[in-house]
């Protein structure tokens, strides 16, 4: 039997299923929390940190990721405060500066309110969200790819760099990758990256706190579209 707990998310009292995460609950109830590494049927690792929320305990708020935080009775969550919006914008800025050549990442940056990027663009191919590794490990039980290296050297790789026999060649890793969606005008040349902001018409001036089933969500594989 499902057990329920009452949580407050942005003031809305929600009757949530015990054992689910705050992010899943919020998205389910139409409260939009931007997220990238979270995929509904995969485990959560809290890598992209975009889904941060304020968790208020005894009057003190602490910033934590909503994907790894499970709902509990009486929990108070704030998803759209000035502090969170600012932190989220800074994170998205870091992310898009790292990999501007993906529509998914550009959409997320726009969704999080990034209007200028203060770092030099890097144009990398991978943002290490770990979606591919988890789909390979958890859904297909293949473990054909994994993380190799530490820190700056961390990358996704086959075991010892060779495609193994046990790779089922299902292609799920490619489908689920946010980097496989090229920007609207096609791939940008290295050194000429920019924020195209073409999706701006999809959003209101102020980022809405509720889910509008926006086209952007489709772009970055929001939980609702998967």
Partner 1 sequence: MPRLNSYRELEHLRERLREQRQSITTTMMVCGGTGCRTSNSQAVIDAFRNELSSQGLDDSVRLCVTGCHGFCEQGPVVIIEPGNTFYCHVSPEDAFEIVYQTVVKGELIERLLYEDPVSGERFRTEAEIPFYKAQERRILSQNRMVDPCSIEDYIVAGGYTALPRVLNGVAPEEIINEIKASGLRGRGGGGFPTGRKWDECLGAPGDEKYVICNADEGDPGAYMDRCVLEGNPHLVLEGMMIGARAIGAGKGYVYVRNEYPLAVKHSRIAVEQARELGLLGDNILGSPFSFEVDIARGGGAFVCGESTALMASIEGKVGEPHPKDVHTVVDGLYHQPTTLNNVETWANVPSIILNGSSWFNSKGTKGSKGTKILALTGRIKNTGLVEVAMGTSIREVVFDIGGGAANSNPIKAVQTGGPSGGCLPLDKFDLAVDFDVLAEAGSMVGSGGMVVMDEETCMVDVAKYFLEFLQDESCGKCLPCRVGIDRMLEIITDITEGRGRMEQLDLLEELADTVSQTALCGLGKTAPNPVLSTLRYFRPEYEAHIKEKKCPAGVCKALITYWIDPEKCNGCGVCIRGCAHGAITGEKKQVHVIDDQLCQKCGICRSECKFDAIQVT
Print the SS3 string covering 38-49.
CCCCCCCCCCCC
Which of residues 8, 20, 40, 64 is near partner 1 by CB under 8 A? 64
**Would you count residue 56 as binding partner 1 (CB under 8 A)?**
no
78 contributes a contact to partner 1 by CB under 8 A: no
**Rounded-to-10 torsion of CA 200, 206, 207, 210:** -120
Which is closer to partner 1, CB of 49 or CB of 131?
49
Q: Does residue number 69 form part of the binding site for partner 1 (CB under 8 A)? A: yes
- Does 152 interact with partner 1 (rule: CB under 8 A)? yes
Establish if 63 lies at the interface with partner 1 (CB under 8 A): yes
Task: Indicate the residue among 97 and 179 with the shorter CB distance to partner 1.
Answer: 97
φ/ψ of residue 8, rounded to 5 = -110, 115
For residue 114, state whether it binds partner 1 (rule: CB under 8 A): no
CA distance 127 to 74: 35
Residue 132 within binding range of partner 1, rule CB under 8 A: no
Q: Which two tokens stand for residue 14?
A: 């929600």
Q: Measure the CA angle with vertex 101, ends 84 and 170; round to 5°.
A: 100
Q: Which is nearer to partner 1, 48 or 214 (CB)?
A: 48
What is the C-alpha to C-alpha distance for residues 157 and 161, in angstroms, rounded to an integer?
A: 6
- Distance, in Å, from the CA atom of 16 to the CA atom of 47, rounded to the nearest integer, reads 24
Q: Which of 11, 59, 74, 151 binds partner 1 (CB under 8 A)?
A: 151
Q: Return residues touching partner 1 (CB under 8 A).
A: 44-49, 52, 63-65, 68-70, 87, 90-91, 94-95, 97-98, 118-120, 127-128, 147, 149-154
């Amino acid at each position: 039997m499902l057990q329920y707990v009452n949580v407050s998310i942005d003031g809305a009292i929600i009757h949530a299923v015990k054992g689910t995460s705050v992010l899943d609950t919020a998205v389910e109830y139409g409260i939009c929390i931007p997220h990238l590494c979270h995929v509904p049927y995969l485990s959560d690792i809290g890598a992209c940190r975009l889904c941060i929320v304020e968790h208020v305990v005894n009057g003190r708020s602490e910033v934590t990721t909503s994907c790894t935080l499970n709902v509990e009775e009486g929990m108070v969550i704030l998803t759209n405060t000035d502090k969170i919006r600012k932190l989220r914008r800074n994170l998205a800025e870091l992310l898009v500066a790292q990999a501007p050549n993906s529509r998914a990442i550009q959409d997320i940056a726009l969704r999080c309110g990034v209007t200028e990027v203060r770092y030099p663009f890097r144009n990398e191919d991978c943002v290490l969200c770990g979606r591919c590794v988890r789909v390979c490990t958890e859904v297909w039980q293949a473990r054909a790819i994994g993380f190799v290296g530490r820190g700056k050297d961390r990358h996704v790789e086959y075991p010892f760099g060779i495609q193994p026999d046990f790779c089922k060649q299902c292609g799920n890793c490619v489908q689920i990758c946010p980097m496989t969606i090229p920007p609207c005008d096609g791939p940008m040349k290295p050194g000429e990256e920019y924020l195209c902001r073409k999706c701006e018409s999809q959003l209101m001036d102020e980022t809405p706190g509720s889910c509008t089933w926006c086209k952007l969500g489709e772009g970055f594989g929001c939980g609702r579209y998967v």
